[in-house]
Structure formats: structure tokens, C-alpha cells
């Protein structure tokens, strides 16, 4: 099995899982980009940091909305 050098990396992800018991689970994954600082220009690193911060905030908002909808269904 030959190894190929990756040219991209997953920095942020959001998944919805639904299991056989009817349980819905959300999962947000995030990568610490501080190790990339030496490989990027200051502008690129700052831009990437801002994009990740804003995307994380938006995904947290989505997560909270989904959770609120599910909780309201359980209380009804």
C-alpha cells in the first residue's frame, strides 16, 4: 500500500447521526490550526483563524436550534 501526500486537511466538520433506537446525535469536529502558523503567511493564518471562528459560531447556532426543536417535541 503506497502512501500519498495529502494536499488538503479537514479543519471543521458537522455531522448528524440517527441510530436504530431513534436517537439523533450531532457532532462538531474542529482542528487546532496553530501548528500551521509556520507554514502560512501571517495574512493567510489570520484569515483562516477568522473563518474557523465564524464557522464554529454558526455551527454552534445550528446545533442549538436543532436541540431546541428536539426538546420542544419531547415536551409536547
One pLDDT digit (tens) per residue for the chain, 76 residues: 667 887 888 899 999 888 888 888 888 899 999 998 999 999 999 999 999 999 999 999 998 998 888 777 766 5
Ordered alpha helix ranges (H), 14-76 = 42-75
**12 conformational bin, left if phi > 0, alpha if psi -120 to 50, beta if neither:** beta
∠ Cα 38 39 43 (to 5°): 85
pTM of the model: 0.74
For position 75, what pLDDT does the model report?
A: 61
Q: What is the pLDDT of residue 33?
A: 93
Q: Quick one: pLDDT at residue 40?
A: 92
pLDDT value, residue 74: 65
Amino acid at each position: 500500500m503506497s502512501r500519498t501526500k495529502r494536499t488538503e486537511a479537514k479543519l471543521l466538520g458537522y455531522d448528524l447521526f440517527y441510530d436504530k433506537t431513534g436517537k439523533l446525535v450531532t457532532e462538531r469536529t474542529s482542528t487546532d490550526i496553530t501548528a500551521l502558523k509556520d507554514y502560512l503567511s501571517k495574512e493567510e493564518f489570520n484569515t483562516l483563524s477568522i473563518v474557523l471562528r465564524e464557522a464554529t459560531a454558526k455551527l454552534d447556532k445550528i446545533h442549538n436550534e436543532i436541540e431546541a426543536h428536539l426538546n420542544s417535541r419531547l415536551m409536547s
